[in-house]
């Protein structure tokens, strides 16, 4: 019985990890936040707008990208295991975004947050 329970637990953990790694990309996961504004064979440009107090759906960044903050932003980024980190960006700043598995972001700032992502395909 213990072996069966351990096997079931292992399958559930593996399934959870696999699900976390297969979240859809931003623009497919939550079109209410992420909009593709340009795309060609090499790049995809995505405009993201989080209204004050809103949270997007679980998503991934399947390739390295650059994020450009259009407005000041305060986001809380949460991974499936419950770990979180705060991301605070000033308008006009840019930073690299590595390939990232499943997570979601919540606008914890005092106003709407707008970011433009440029992804290399």
Alpha carbons 80 and 106: distance in angstroms, whole number: 14
At 28, which CATH number?
2.60.120.10
Query: How far apart (Å, rounded) are the C-alpha atoms in residues 113 and 48?
Result: 8
Q: Domain of residue 109: give its range.
A: 2-120
**Banded model confidence at residue 22, pLDDT cuts 50, 70, 90:** confident
**pLDDT at position 13 over 60:** no
H or E element that contains 46: strand 43-50
Q: Could you give the CA distance from residue 72 to residue 65 in angstroms, rounded to a whole number? A: 19
**What pTM was estimated for this model as a whole?**
0.80
Higher pLDDT pick, 26 / 14:
26
Tokens found for residue 7:
């096997």
Q: What is the pLDDT of residues 74-111, one digit of tens each?
A: 999 999 999 999 999 999 999 999 999 899 999 999 99
- Structural domains in the chain (count): 1
DSSP 55: B
Backbone dihedral angles phi then psi of residue 104, each to the nearest 5 degrees: -140, 165
Q: What is the pLDDT of residues 24-57, one digit of tens each?
A: 999 999 999 999 999 999 999 999 999 999 999 9
């Amino acid at each position: 019985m213990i072996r069966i329970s351990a096997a079931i637990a292992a399958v559930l953990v593996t399934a959870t990890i696999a699900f976390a790694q297969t979240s859809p990309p931003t623009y497919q996961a939550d079109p209410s936040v992420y909009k593709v504004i340009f795309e060609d064979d090499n790049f995809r440009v995505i405009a993201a707008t989080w209204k004050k107090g809103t949270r997007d759906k679980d998503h991934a960044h399947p390739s390295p990208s650059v994020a450009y903050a259009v407005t000041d932003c305060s986001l809380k980024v949460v991974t499936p295991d419950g770990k979180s980190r705060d991301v605070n960006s000033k308008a006009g700043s840019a930073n690299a975004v590595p390939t990232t598995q499943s997570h979601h972001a919540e606008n914890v700032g005092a106003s709407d947050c707008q970011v433009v992502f440029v992804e290399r395909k």
